[in-house]
Amino acid sequence: MKDIEEILSYSFKNPRLLSQALTHPSALPSGQGVEFERLEFLGDRVLGLVVSQWLFEEFPSEKEGDLAKRLAGLVRKETLVDIAKLIDLDSFMVMKREKSTSGNKRLETLLADGCEALIGALYLDGGLEVSHSFIHHYWKDLFKNTHEPPRDSKSILQEWAQGKGKTHPEYVVVGSSGPAHAPRFIIQVNVNDMDPAIGEGSSKRLAEQKAAQNMLNMIHCHD
């Protein structure tokens, strides 16, 4: 584990925590891997706390809604994948690998989960100061490049619907599949008399965003 500790510039007092964060349940017998999932859960909350405080201090005049949009952009799956690639997490994680297009998408999900698990392990081993240092180091460039609050697909669709006098978009789960450590959700978005749009993702939030984007694409095609 020394190589990744050199990248992180941190030596774990409890190496077992690092090992658990780097071992995805897909590489273990069924029913094992609870430690990884717990670290991922914790890391997600630690990341949210640290980034929320950072935003609160960095943008003192912004309203809650704009801060929430910035937060969503900074903790989303794509951002976590980018950070995972920066630290070459793929080289250190133990996981089941698939050679296919869907396998590549699944790899990104595993890397995002692994990044959160690593943050959880850093927090448990070194406390908030250590996890805070890691997050500030690897997210600082994202903060520098964020001048305006990002507008996600759901927000854009809702603004469009309001502008057209339509009801707010309604998101409904119409399907789900996959094991607990790699779920897939299918969500349908409905707006008044328009044809519904479908989105699929590894979380309900991502599937909703995809569905909203697909409906926006339909709207633009008819404009």
Residue 199 and residue 111 share a domain: no
pLDDT digits (tens, 9 = 90+) for 50-84: 999 999 999 898 888 888 888 888 998 889 999 99
Exactly one of 35, 40, 44, 108 is catalytic; name it. 44
Helix (H, G, I), strand (E, B) or coil at 7: helix
Residue 138 and residue 50 share a domain: yes
Q: Which of 144, 169, 184 is the last residue of a domain?
A: 144
**Residue 44 a catalytic site member:** yes
pLDDT digits (tens, 9 = 90+) for 213-223: 999 998 886 55
Which domain covers residue 116, as residue numbers? 2-144
pTM of the model: 0.69
Burial 13-52 (b: 16+ CB within 10 A, else e): eeeebbebbbbbbbbbeeeebebbbebbebbbebbeebbb
**Residue 116 a catalytic site member:** yes
Exactly one of 116, 125, 152, 208 is catalytic; name it. 116
Residue 163 and residue 110 share a domain: no
Query: Could you give the number of structural domains in the chain?
Result: 2
% of the chain with per-residue pLDDT over 90: 53
pLDDT score at 92: 94
Residue 105 and residue 67 share a domain: yes
Residue 85 and residue 17 share a domain: yes
Residue 137 and residue 202 share a domain: no
